[in-house]
Structure 1
Amino acid sequence: MGCIKSKEDKGPSIKYRTEPKPDSGSPYGGDPTQATQSPGIKGQAPNFNSHSMTPFGGSSGITPFGGASSIFAPTPVPYPGGLTGGVTVFVALYDYEARTTEDLSFRKGERFQIINNTEGDWWEARSIATGKTGYIPSNYVAPADSIQAEEWYFGKMGRKDAERLLLNPGNQRGTFLVRESETTKGAYSLSIRDWDEVKGDNVKHYKIRKLDNGGYYITTRAQFESLQKLVKHYSEHADGLCYRLTTVCPTVKPQTQGLAKDAWEIPRESLRLDLKLGQGCFGEVWIGAKFPIKWTAPEAALYGRFTIKSDVWSFGILLTELVTKGRVPYPGMVNREVLEQVERGYRMPCPQGCPESLHELMKLCWKKDPDERPTFEYIQSFLEDYFTATEPQYQPGDNL
């Protein structure tokens, strides 16, 4: 079982201690805390490398391993509450250009002393390099020398999202990322792009477990005092993994929370308003060019009733585009026909190759009565459960 070992040169051989006898029923071997620990592991790992610290994402631009920007970004989550443990030095994960006079412009790698982080998503900080003080987006920085500051650490990311990201065109075999484990609290997952003659391009997942004394391991015979050292080791030697870690998975900057600190709206005079379509519960709706009839709920297209439930209808149309790889909705029908047929109760049939459960979700989105359509919260829960139910298992670490 497990991954096919890499055939490339793995560098100098690594000397391992004797493998402990596996416990019955455990795919990860015996309890490593009961065996002699590697001499390199001493004491507890730094607090900011612990699972309890809320993750940030990776970073954009060229990585140390030669990666380039892509279209995905991990979901950043700001640190809640005040700073703890006396840690006030953070490092920038991305470049940022100030949008107001109160913001600070900065470059990736720049360090800050945090003055105040209790006012939401924008923190008051002082640049150590320039001495300037201003506000910075909290999801653009991470504690200095923590795993959150590592480009390969993507924080809270699902298995399916990791696979989509790694299988993007342009990524090569050995492209990787580290993320929180979805199934085991306190553990991490190493996801690697691989290739073989049977599956072609695919992604292998390895669970990274944490020792009680702060160490980390994939297989109990090779333990490391930090995630950084684990990644460094497997970037030099495949050592039982499907392939040596070669390139950090590319990503892009996350969205800032708001335009800037206390900047919540764009001046109305800066927008061009051509034709008023209607007025919903979120304000007036205007059109400046073509109207997307095939994507619009009937109550919005016919009567100008734009609500979040009309957005749910549009999401159902988007699902058909995803399943059919970009086919235009209602093939063979012009806009007038679409309006007439939908008003009479017509709904698009299940696309070829689409699971029936997904088509049922689409039909829920297309209920005639907007109140009978699901919420976006329900849709998110449905899709997450669907992807979890169809995902493969981890690669077993005890066979490495």
Structure 2
Amino acid sequence: MSSTAILEETLIKRSQQKKRTSPLNYKERVFVLTKTRLSYYEGRAEKKFRKGCVELQRVKCVEIVKNGGVVIPCQNKYPFQVVYDTTTLYIFAPSNESRTLWVQNLKEEIRNNPQIVAKFHPQFWQEGGWLCCGQADKLAPGCEEYNLFGDSENTRRPPPPPPPEHGAPAAQEEEPEEELVIALYDFEGAESQDLTLHRGEEYVIVEKCDVNWYKARDRYGYESGFSSSCYCRAQLSHLIHTAQQQWYCKNVNRNKAEEQLRNEGKEGGFMVRDSSSPGAYTVSLYTKSVGDGVIRHYHIKETAGSPKQFYLAEKHLFDDIPALIEYHKHNAAGLVSRLRYPVNKQNRAAPTTAGFSYDKWEINPSELTFMKELGSGQFGVVRLGKWRALHKVAIKAIREGAMSEEDFIEEAKVMMNLSHPKLVQLYGVCTQQNPIYLVTEFMELGCLLNYIRQRRGTFGPQNLLSICHDISQGMQYLEENHFIHRDLAARNCLVNDSHVVKVSDFGMARYVIDDQYTSSSGAKFPVKWSPPEVFNFCKYSSKSDVWSFGVLMWEVFTEGKMPFEKNLNHEVVTMVTQGYRLYRPKMATPYIHDIMKLCWQERPEERPSFAQISMMITDEIEADGLPDL
């Protein structure tokens, strides 16, 4: 770099549409601003190659971009523009504060440029036209007055403060408010760069490195380091006071709540869980006072206005949810029973982290202890193991010739950053020796297909629906992150000791080296789970995953039967192409079969998204039995 960096941040750059038909793409770049130029790099600036730079003396305009209703197909939603020569560079910041900082600093550096424009285009150039004024000439003059000293949302620059009177102390700059979080779990740092967290203590966020990891320090500034973002949440909210409590059960739906309360069978057994409505909570309560025992579900309601208060019975208002629960432990006040006994089978288990430490994806094999064999899969043998004799893990040893290893290693870091309660977490890989190892979360109850076959006859329809709900949530997360599974089936889902089902082996089918598995003419190819566009044209998408999910639902509701069990692959291709679909399982209601059939629409665009599927299943779960009160 030619001079000291003023700003440096990972932002997203949009490609320049040099032709009307050019497709747009969005790429992460490390942007660096100095006194003389704006440069951008692929990856870390000190390790990767510079992809381009703009000399600041050539810049004519820097301004935010007004969205105008355009969908922004990347995770950064705050665009700004740098106009130079005959080019407009569109850059997307992760927050409004970040964007404002870049625009203000760039404007400060170009304020003496002689070629500053009088007018600019406040919206995007897209598909051969300016969205703001409709002009089809990319070099057409701007349509809105340009202000070099402010931005298009704050067009007047505030005057500088008057100088302090002689002898008067200069005004102190107001320090930005620190972002406090509270630890929901203990976190033992795995590396020297990590910060150990203690449950219930407060920490200050220093930097949000990515969606999965924060750099933080304790409130007194004695220690700092990296910690998992899923181990802490923003302070001073009723959510945190709730999340710390023994009675709060995250990611437990109505069916699982009822199952846990009935199994416990104690008078006044209760839990607080997330409602089907985002951001809302439900109290699920068991009582023996009616018949053989009943469960009632009560929405926790909020008052309008500010400050909000919470209540189950309108006469009794509370400032937060823990205070509400504490009151109803001693007073039924309209409930069928007092809240006597908290039930939580999750045992406050800490969530999985995206890797064992920030930016650590290569694991030293000497830190792994190999234990019993769990099974053998597409790529090789899977064993139970431990990392540093502490964390239970599953270790997949990749059989030589089973996988396109170089391609997979390139993608491994992306897959590690996919982190969700309904996905089996990839912790890291060992690539410096043969065979290479994949180190993943250990799922105690194994493969879903074996799990339901071995317990055949013990499930009710609502248990089976909960299994499908878990998988739909994991797949919704993959869909939202533009990640395609390609081989979704019951055999590729796993079950933990809390009977939570998680999606596994997502994206792995791309790396298989096996003609029979990768060609629809092969005996191993999963034709029975594949839509027509896959077995005919190898065209994969989230909508092809949706088709596979419909078949997986059928597997679950038949308690593990093989789809099209009497037909060979080539016969299934003909049957599906002619419109044949799997029959309704006995344990599936017509509504559940309707969801399956929606997944099996001939045209991909007519299939629902996983977000829609998850909502349909949630509605069916919540509709069963008595409504929430």
Smaller-chain TM-score range?
Answer: 0.5 to 0.7
3-state SS of paired residue (1:139): helix
Partner SS for 2:512: strand
Task: Report the more deviating stretch, 377-386 or 133-142.
Answer: 377-386
Is the CA contact 1:151–1:248 (under 8 Å) kept in the aligned structure 2?
no
Q: After TM superposition, give the deviation of residue 311 of structure 1 in Å.
A: 1.3
- In the TM superposition, residue 125 of structure 1 has moved relative to its aligned partner by 0.9
The one of 253, 256, 261 equivalent to 1:161 is 253
Single out whichever of 140-149 and 256-265 deviates more from structure 2. Answer: 256-265
Q: Does 1:218 align with 2:305?
A: no
Verify the 8 A CA contact 2:551 2:563 in the aligned structure 1: no
Among residues 166, 170, 189, which one is paired with 2:282 in the alignment?
189
Q: Which moved more, 1:365-374 or 1:330-339?
A: 330-339
* Counterpart-to-counterpart distance in 1, 2:359 and 2:353: 12
Matched, 1:356 2:564: no
Partner of 2:561: 328
* CA pair 393-344 structure 1, distance change in 2 beyond 3 A: closer
CA contact (8 A) 1:193 1:204 kept: no
Partner of 1:13: none
- 2:541 equivalent among 307, 310, 318: 307
Decide whether aligned partners of structure 1 residues 195 and 215 sit closer, same or farther in structure 2, where only a CA change above 3 A counts.
same
Choose the corresponding residue for 1:286, options 491, 495, 512. Answer: 512
SS at 1:284 equivalent: helix
Q: How far did 1:316 drift?
A: 0.2
In the alignment, the residues of structure 1 paired with residue 627 and residue 207 of structure 2 have an alpha-carbon distance, to the nearest angstrom, of 43
Alignment of 1:173-252 (within 5 A): 173=266, 174-178=268-272, 188-195=281-288, 198=291, 200-210=293-303, 215-245=309-339, 246-251=341-346, 252=349
- Report the AA paired with residue 376 of structure 1: F
Greater per-residue strand proportion:
2
TM-score (norm 1): 0.58
Q: What is the rounded CA distance, in whole Å, between the counterparts of 2:96 and 2:324 in structure 1?
A: 28
Bigger Cα displacement from structure 2, 114-123 vs 230-239: 114-123
Matched-pair contact (CA < 8 Å) for 1:323–1:354: yes
Correspondence 1:103 to 2:194? yes
Q: Counterpart amino acid of 1:330?
A: P
Equivalent-residue separation in structure 2 for 1:335 and 1:151 (angstroms): 53
1:113 pairs with one of 190, 201, 204: 204
Q: Which deviates the most, 258-267 or 294-303?
A: 258-267
When the two chains are superposed, the root-mean-square deviation of aligned CA atoms in Å is: 4.8
Structure 2 counterpart of 1:141: 232
| Structure-1 residue corresponding to 2:465 | none
Cα shift readout 1:53-96 (whole Å, capped 9, x = no counterpart): xxxxxxxxxxxxxxxxxxxxxxxxxx9989x9946443321233
**1-structure distance, mates of 2:338, 2:96:** 36
> What is the one-letter code of the residue matched to 1:140?
Y
Q: Given the two structures, how large is their TM-score scaled by the length of structure 2?
A: 0.40
Amino acid across the alignment from 1:137: S
Aligned-partner residue type, residue 597 of structure 2:
K
- Whichever residue aligns with residue 123 of structure 1, its letter is Y
The Cα offsets for residues 120-162 of structure 1, whole Å up to 9 and x where unpaired, read as 44222124699431122223113457531422575997xx824
Q: Distance in 2 between matches of 1:273 and 1:376?
A: 35
Deviation of residue 300 (structure 1)? 4.4
Which amino acid in structure 2 is aligned with residue 233 of structure 1? Y
Higher-Rg structure is 2
Q: Which residue is equivalent to 2:458? A: none
Q: Which runs of 5+ in 1 are unaligned?
A: 1-78, 396-400
Q: Displacement, 1:366?
A: 2.1
2:550–2:595 Cα contact (<8 Å) kept: yes
**1:5-36, Cα deviation, whole Å (9 max, x unpaired):** xxxxxxxxxxxxxxxxxxxxxxxxxxxxxxxx
C-alpha offsets along residues 165-184 of structure 1, whole Å, 9 cap, x if unaligned? Answer: 3423744443433356667x
One-letter amino acid matched to 1:377: A
Q: In the alignment, what sits opposite 1:94?
A: 185
In structure 2, give the amino acid aligned to 1:249.
N
| SS of corresponding position for 1:167 | helix
Larger RCO of the pair (alpha carbons < 8 Å, separation 6+): 1
- CA deviations on 1:160-205 (whole Å, 9 max, x unpaired) are 824423423744443433356667x997532324456557453422
